[in-house]
Structure formats: C-alpha cells, structure tokens
Structure 1
Amino acid sequence: MTSSDDVRQAPGGTAGASPEEIEPIGAEQRWRLVLGLDAQGRRTPLSRQQAGMDQALRTLYDEEARSALQGRRARGGLGESSPRVARWLGDIRTYFPTRVVQVMQVDALERFGLTSMLLEPEVLEMVEPDIHLAATLASLSQAVPEQSKATARAVVAKVARQVEERLADNLQQAVRGALDRATRTSRPALADINWGRTITANLKNYVPELGTVIPERIIGYGRRHRGIQREFTICLDQSGSMATSVVYASILAAVMSTIRSLRTTLVAYDTAVIDLTPLLTDPVDVIFGTQLGGGTDTTPALEYCQQTITRPADSVLILISDLYDAHPERMLERLAQVEASGTQVVVLLALSDDGAPFYNHDVAKRLAQMGIPAFGCTPDAFPELLAAAVQGDDLAHWADKQAAHAN
C-alpha cells in the first residue's frame, strides 16, 4: 500500500487561503465579524468576501444558524445535512488562512457532533455511511482526533466497498468490451463489422442507381489485448462544491487502475496540484489524499496532466469541475491546446447520484462552442461513458441520449 507521503505535490500547497488572497479588514468590520451582530442596530458595511466570512462564522458559532445547517440529524450521523457541511468546509478554506481553518475544523468536529460519533466503539453499527458522510470525513481528515482516525477510515472504506460492489463489474466489462471493438481489422466476421466506419470509408463508392454503397474496404472490430491501449487522465477539481464528485471519482479511478489495457492517471487540484496516481491501489488512501475546499485554478493542473500523457491520439482527458475558475480564459485556452494535440477531452460538471450539477453556465457554453462536451454524469452511467470514449463516439450526442433517457 502506498502512503500519502508518496504523492507528488506542487510546492507551496496549503489547506486554506493564502494571506495575499484575503482582503484587508478594517477595525469596524473586524469587530462586526467577531461579535456576529451589529451593536445598537447599526449596519456595518461588509464586502462580498467579508459577508461570506460572516456567514461561515455564523454557521459554526451561532446556534440557530448551525441548527439550520444540520437540519434533522440522522441516528448517529449527519444524514441529509452532510452535503451542506461539505460545502461549508469548502467555504472556510476559501475565506480563512490555514491556521484559522484548522481551528474551525476542530470546533466543527465537536459542534456538528462528529467527534462523539467517531469515538463511539459501535459507530459502524449505528451509522449508515453514505457518499456525503465520506466526503465530510475526508474534508475534516486533518482535524480528526488521533484516536478517531481509524474509525473515520473504516467509515470511508465501507462507502468505498459499497460503490465498488455496485459499479466495478459494469465498468470493467464496458471498458474491456469497448477496447475489443475499437481495434479495427480489415477482414472481420459478419458480426464484427463496424458498419458506421465502413460506410464512412466507402462513401466515394456510392451507386445512385442502386441507392447503396459498394464497399471496397470493410472495417471491423478486433480482439487484441496486448499492452496499454488507452490512456485516461482524470483532472479533479477538489473545491468544496465538488465533494461528492471527488469521492466517486477517487473510487472509480481506483477501479480503472485495475484494468491492464488502461493507463489511468488521477490528478487533483485547487490552487495547488497533487498527483494521486501512486495511491490508486487503495481508494481510501486516494479519498484521504484529497484536500476538499479552497480556491480553484485549473490551468496548472491541465498543464501537469498534459505532461503525463504519452500518446495523445490514444488518450482521453476527463476534467471533473463545476468550471468556477479563478482564470477561466487561461483554462479554456489550455483545454483547446490539449484537444489540438489529439487528446479527446470531456468535461464532467458533476459525478453525483442526481447528475444535476451546479456550474458556471457561461464557461460551459464556451466549451460547447469549442466542440468540447460538458455535462453532468451519474456514477452508474460512468462505465458507458468510458466505453463511448474508448470507441471515439460523439460524447455530446451520448450525453444528449442519456438526458433523453432519464426524462
């Protein structure tokens, strides 16, 4: 098993916002943030960033706001409030420096009831772990007390096993079948003829009188299994809003890494870049290797991913992001360069059970104009997506068919 110390990381990565990213706060605003409410009915003006800081502080330290965040607690855990807790954990990493984030995370463990939950010996019997709870625990991994870390990993491991049991067989069968079909042969059996490619290759031989094409060249699917046939690079936005996507992507990438015909690379990023590929032997290590929350700068991650791709023509880059980026123009320019190199590019706006992403519509529209498909995907549809990518199908058309089927 590879430890998290083996993960390659760009220098200077931190868990929270850097001092230069936090705007100066005046004395009046500072007291407003400390006290929580304006004294004597005055309304102290707050900037947009300061208002976000105020909301994050109120969520943790104001009883009424915290109750609203948690909602109705499930027996032994956070239940349906987990996604909101995960988003809050992302917010504090955006608004506060590392040392403050660490203090708030420790307080959150106690105030959200996670410390007592993790310290109970029968926690696994009491809690029904789900993907949101796994994301929350991963977000709080640096703040979990030493005596509770084994329990936290056990909870996440249980979620990972559930997802693998549900998806692993379908993913492996879909990808291996697609690799079989993607290898062309010029003398296929009737059942192995690739009719779409055969017709396209012989359009010059169309005979109007017969209303058909006379094929000179028949293209089929082969059955080769030698060496690496495709490279998949997953570039994973680990901002707070992507918590569920991060957990699912980590588990699915671990499954992909077991398919010998694939070369799978997993790179996560916020404002720093971390290569999680060495941890793919254990999805729990991958999940705890992420640092959910913080800012988002996609371009350095794309640049790193491009350097890891050895055969662009046989490669697929999957960017999993809500596209809320600090430098969207740079990101779009880099994606265009990756695609121009011959690599197939697809953007997943979310990898979640509902498949209904919250994302930057303007940037997604720009991607569509560039011919790069961008859509939300459920984990159950992910194997079919990979198969379509292996076969070189039109992924935008594939996504449209999925949406029509869901409706």
Structure 2
Amino acid sequence: MVLGAEGDGTGCVLDGPDAGMDAALGALYGGGGAVKRGSAGRSGGLGGSAPNVARWLGDIRTYFPAPVVQVMQRDAIERLGLAALLLEPEMLEAVEPDVHLVGTLLSLNRAMPETTRETARAVVRAVVGQLEERLSSRTRATLSGALDRSARTSRPRHADIDWDRTIRANLKHYLPEHRTVVPERLIGHGRSAQAVRKEVVLCIDQSGSMAASVVYASVFGAVLASMRSIATRLVVFDTAVADLTDQLDDPVDVLFGTQLGGGTDINRAVAYCQSKITRPADTVVVLISDLHEGGIRNEMLGRVAAMKASGVEFVALLALSDEGAPAYDHEHAAALAALGAPAFACTPDLFPDVMAAALEKRPLPTP
C-alpha cells in the first residue's frame, strides 16, 4: 500500500495482492469498479465477455477461500447475468464447484450444447461426490438403527432372539442362587430382517426455487436406494410427473433427468405417489416443496389425509438445504399441519434424524 497518494480520497493507493482483491470485489459489487494496478484511476465491471470473466474467476480463487469464492460466483450469476457464459467449457473449468452452481447448471440443462455437457457432468459429479462423502455414512448408520428398532419384536423365534438386548432388559430378574437370568420378555427380530422393511417415496418439487433441495434429495435418494432394507422411489414434478427411480444408482443421472424452472402441480404428484403405495403402514412419503400449488388444493389435501388415515407417515419439507426456510405458501403449510403433517425446512445434516423418526413413527425433530 502506498501512502500519501490521492487514491479515492482515502490518502492511499492499494498495490500488490490488496489491489487484486479490491479489483475483484469492485468488478462484481461496484464501488467505482476495478482497481488498475499501478494507477490511481479506476474502471469497473467484468465487461460481459468470456475472457474478462474467466480472468476474474481465476483472480477470486487466488485471493479468497473457497466458501467466499462460491458466494461471489453466485452473486455474479445473479447480479450480472453470467449464467449463459457457463455454457462454455472453459468457463466451467474455472469455477469453484458447489451446490448452487449445480442448480444453475441444471436450470441450463436444456440449452446446454454437447461440447459443454461432459464438462458440466464432471462439475456436478464432483459436488455430488463431496456431498455423498459428507452425508452417506451418518445417514446409513442413523437409518439402520431406526430400522433395527422398528423391527424388534417381543415374540421372536428362538433363532431370532437378540440375547444381548434380552439379557440387559431382564437383569432385574437375575436369580443369584441359580446364577442366571430368567427372561420375562424376549427381544429379537422377525424372519424378514434381511428383507425390505420400509418403503420411502421422495417427491421433489423441481421448480426453480428448489434447486438446492433437488441436489440434496438426489444424493439422499441414492444413499437410501443403497440400503437393501429400504425400497426407495424418487419422483420429481412440475406440472408433469417423472419417476426417476430406475436412475437412483447414479445421482448425477437423476439430476440431469430433472428440469428446473417449470410450474407446480403438487396434487398430480401426490396422486402418483399415492398410486404406488402397496404397504401403507410401512411407507414414508417425503414431499419436498415450497407448497406454491398450481393444481387442485383441496384434492391434494384430501389425498394427504387419506394416506395418513391408511397408516402412511407423511413428511412435508419446505426445503432441504443449508439456507433455511424459503418463501413458501403459509396457508398450505398450516393445512398440512392440521392433518398431522407439519411442514418445515430441514438442513441436510438434520435429514437423517427426520427420516429415522418417520421410520419409527415417533415425533419428528422439527427445528
């Protein structure tokens, strides 16, 4: 930093890395524009050209940590309309991958040229891999515990008795003179321990505002589908309904099978999910939507009420993202709550606990 110069009326002029950081911030957020190194003059903006943007993306990755870079990229896309430039492979190679960038790419999916598609898939796969690494182990452990608890029976066959739990539950019946425990209650699992115990339907609103939720739900769908004791179905919808269950082994395929940005017909989606339920008492339906319904409201609520009455556990998530509750339809949320299906936003870290509670039919851990 050089003291004593004019430099914006502050009495100093930035140089070196400080000037570079100021230029990167000024190009995006204004304040007179970007600093030109070695000069007190200032000029602004990214110029809307690919070379300028690519250079700026490289600069911010040099000067700022990854979380800050992700915020600045998101702001650039929203403030400066740079989404179209992401259709160029060179641009995608320069960005810092994150959930919001994936959402933007998915919204551009239909306009994406073949020359960009493989690069875009690589970016999406990198983000999905990070999310799976972060979320999969805890999800499997939490849900496996919930399934074990829900499958316990007090009348197991001899070969299915869980002797460790049985002894601990009957310690008060220990007979010192015989040096043994006389169990009054046996704990064990039924013969279906290795079979499908529960069915989960993830029903995801793919309107533009739900982009992050679609990404996280696809990752969780793949994790659930990898568990043999859970039969998982994944349904996405706007005004139409698409069943992507056969693609659950690869969440990247699921994501590229979505079409962000359409209208919303929750009633049609709920009707489709309802038609696929064969074991209501063992089924959890998770509707992930901001509840801005474009279909028939009363029919949608009637279907939810019917599913609840048949024994289905119905969970309504306004968002599945790190950002908290989005703008949502408060009237529909209140109507679902009155049916015993509270609607709330859920972070990805809380989702395994919500699912575990639903599988065990106990109160949900709402924030």
Q: Normalized against structure 2, the TM-score is what?
A: 0.70
Q: What SS does the corresponding residue of 1:294 show, helix, strand or coil?
A: coil
Decide whether the 8 Å contact of 1:86 with 1:243 is kept in 2. Answer: no
Structure 1 residue 82, shift from structure 2 partner: 6.7
1:3-402 matched pairs, under 5 angstroms: 75=57, 79-80=70-71, 112=82, 114-115=84-85, 118-120=88-90, 123-124=92-93, 126-186=94-154, 191=165, 218=185, 220=187, 222=189, 225-326=193-294, 327-395=296-364, 398-399=365-366
Q: Deviations over 1:310-367 (max 9, x none)?
A: 2111000000000000132222122112212221101001000133332111111111
Structure 1 residue 146, shift from structure 2 partner: 1.3
Structure 1 residue 255, shift from structure 2 partner: 1.2
Distance 1:261 1:81 in 2: 42
Which protein is bigger by CA-based radius of gyration? 2
Structure 1 residue 263, shift from structure 2 partner: 0.3
Distance 2:278 2:290 in 1: 27
Shift of the 336–116 alpha-carbon distance from structure 1 to 2, 3 Å rule, reads: closer
Shift of the 114–328 alpha-carbon distance from structure 1 to 2, 3 Å rule, reads: same
Distance 1:186 1:356 in 2: 41
Shift of the 194–268 alpha-carbon distance from structure 1 to 2, 3 Å rule, reads: farther
Consecutive unaligned residues in structure 1, runs of 5 or more = 1-63, 89-107, 196-215
Q: What SS does the corresponding residue of 2:319 show, helix, strand or coil?
A: strand
Decide whether the 8 Å contact of 2:83 with 2:104 is kept in 1. Answer: no
Structure 1 residue 87, shift from structure 2 partner: 9.0
Distance 1:75 1:86 in 2: 12
Distance 2:339 2:317 in 1: 15
Count of residue pairs the alignment pairs up? 287
Paired residue type of 2:215 = V
Decide whether the 8 Å contact of 2:203 with 2:236 is kept in 1. Answer: yes
Shift of the 113–235 alpha-carbon distance from structure 1 to 2, 3 Å rule, reads: closer
Shift of the 113–267 alpha-carbon distance from structure 1 to 2, 3 Å rule, reads: closer
Structure 1 residue 309, shift from structure 2 partner: 1.5
Shift of the 82–389 alpha-carbon distance from structure 1 to 2, 3 Å rule, reads: farther
Structure 1 residue 286, shift from structure 2 partner: 0.3
Q: Deviations over 1:44-89 (max 9, x none)?
A: xxxxxxxxxxxxxxxxxxxx9x99xxxx99726994377689999x
Q: What SS does the corresponding residue of 2:357 show, helix, strand or coil?
A: helix
Distance 1:380 1:135 in 2: 19
